[in-house]
Structure 1
Amino acid sequence: MSTLSAKGLRKSFGGVVAVDGADLDLHEGRINGLIGPNGSGKTTLFNIVTGMIKADSGTVRLGGTEVTGWSPHRIAHAGLGRTFQLCRVFPRLTVMENMLVSLRRPRLRDILGGLTSKADVEVAMGWLERVGLDHLAGTDARDLSYGQQKLLELAAVLMADPQLILLDEPAGGVNPALIDRIGDLVRDLNAEGRTFLIVEHNMAMVMSLCQHIIVFDRGRPIAAGPPAEIQSDPRVLEAYLGV
């Protein structure tokens, strides 16, 4: 079953075409990688399918439902979560408060005043334990390392129980130990039934983690397949690896 399908997506900014008639088809249950040179349109594609920006043309379907033009909030509630290339947390809120804010149900003043449901707090603590941040629940997010902030961002995304998760450069600015932890967490979540699409420049991580890789160049896919096939594809070597 296709969990995310995009057809004919196009987006230009002024005279620059960022995404050029791109098609994308992700199948449920896989860890997918999306690689390509800087400026090839990967993050723009993420922004289109998550509703952050509107495509000039083309359609997006999520689990068989067309979501073209939907708001980010509505798409998130339909089961798609995402993290960002530059980590997005609320620095002056505690780790637990960041988790509860991500639910968007309680008002911020209620969260800060401790007026949140016990069930929500228990779910949040469970995810914090999964990512290894439960002992920092009362710490301000600004006092975490950048890698810990990325783990917090992912944990907050998981509060909505998405079945498809888009990760934008999860290894960027993160030390090797935390990269390994993120990779192990993605594998575990995938084994539990979640599908991933990961934009990443760390090729060692991509090749060891992803089961299927899509290569973008000049705004559209030029190759797709398992890691071994992608590593030897002459189009990929020319466009991405510079060979």
Structure 2
Amino acid sequence: MTLETVELRKAFGGVVALDGASVAFQAGKVNALIGPNGSGKTTFFNCVTGMIRPDSGRTTYQGQEITRKPPHAIARAGVGRTFQLCRVFPRMTALDNVLAAVRPGGFPKGLRGARSRSDLDRARGWLTRLGIEHLADAEARAMSWGQQKLLELAGVLMAEPETILLDEPAGGVNPALLDRIGALVRELNAEGRTFVIVEHNMDLVMSISDHVVVFDRGRPIAAGPPSVIRTDERVLGAYLGV
């Protein structure tokens, strides 16, 4: 297992978002985390990546506890993450957005320290790999929503994480781009990267995932390969509403 939580709990006032969530994701695989709205998926991501602190429980990554480490330390440990709402610098070019990921100490420092030829070549290489090299000199705000999602992923990849958490990569993108994202995940996974994907598009989840974890009311209710999850009665009841 690469990323594992034990009894992770988080409440916001009287609302329990995570209720003792114990989850293990498989190393070297495409893992999916699904569940109805409000089931705790994004809160889980936020706790795992240090964006918020859980009230109790612990998280380990490759056997090392990361429960209360800050986000930059977790990123340095090898965990990259995208967000449901893209986090890009809208008035910076696509190339500068990717270069900003080279130095976790902040984007101004990152840009000053990331202008080496090797970093420029790597940044352009990721833009090319994701199919947006023609937008290298365009400001991020001029890009479509789907292109911004690819740009955010390029920035994550620039930091060379071993494990990548994607929060709703299919949200708001057109079918052609959706196919491209699915193919990219599979290509990058074949190169050795582990993925954990929060997603509502079941066609995408079932087509690219090796292992699926299902959340309901802040905790996992089922886990297994897509073929098993499709017919699990708990999933059909909680998530598919039948």
TM normalised by structure 2 equals 0.96
Give the equivalent residue in structure 2 for 1:16.
15
Alignment CA distance shift 1:229-1:45 (3 Å) = same
1:14-67 residue CA offsets vs partner (Å, 9 max, x unmatched): 000000000011121110010000000000000000000000000110111111
- Paired with 2:110 and 2:47, the residues of 1 have a C-alpha distance of 33
C-alpha contact (below 8 Å) 2:100/2:114 kept by paired residues: no
- Paired with 2:108 and 2:145, the residues of 1 have a C-alpha distance of 24
1:81 matched to 2:113: no
C-alpha contact (below 8 Å) 1:106/1:116 kept by paired residues: no
1:26 matched to 2:22: no
- Paired with 1:106 and 1:159, the residues of 2 have a C-alpha distance of 15
- SS of alignment partner, residue 103 of structure 1: coil
Give the equivalent residue in structure 1 for 2:53.
54
Alignment CA distance shift 1:117-1:36 (3 Å) = same
C-alpha contact (below 8 Å) 1:215/1:221 kept by paired residues: yes
Q: Please, which runs of 5 or more residues in structure 1 have no aligned partner? A: none
C-alpha contact (below 8 Å) 2:114/2:120 kept by paired residues: no
Q: Please, which runs of 5 or more residues in structure 2 have no aligned partner? A: none
- Paired with 1:230 and 1:171, the residues of 2 have a C-alpha distance of 20
C-alpha contact (below 8 Å) 2:17/2:217 kept by paired residues: yes
Give the equivalent residue in structure 2 for 1:111.
111
- Paired with 1:69 and 1:109, the residues of 2 have a C-alpha distance of 25
- Paired with 1:197 and 1:146, the residues of 2 have a C-alpha distance of 21
1:95 matched to 2:58: no
- Paired with 1:196 and 1:235, the residues of 2 have a C-alpha distance of 24
Q: After TM superposition, give the deviation of residue 111 of structure 1 in Å.
A: 3.3
C-alpha contact (below 8 Å) 1:96/1:124 kept by paired residues: yes
How many equivalent residue pairs? 241
- Paired with 2:214 and 2:107, the residues of 1 have a C-alpha distance of 41
Q: Percent identity of the aligned residues?
A: 63
- SS of alignment partner, residue 174 of structure 1: coil
User: How do residues 228-239 of structure 1 correspond to structure 2 at under 5 angstroms?
Assistant: 228-239=227-238
Q: After TM superposition, give the deviation of residue 175 of structure 1 in Å.
A: 0.3
C-alpha contact (below 8 Å) 2:102/2:110 kept by paired residues: no
- SS of alignment partner, residue 88 of structure 2: coil
Alignment CA distance shift 1:51-1:204 (3 Å) = same
C-alpha contact (below 8 Å) 1:103/1:159 kept by paired residues: yes
Give the equivalent residue in structure 2 for 1:146.
145
C-alpha contact (below 8 Å) 2:102/2:114 kept by paired residues: no
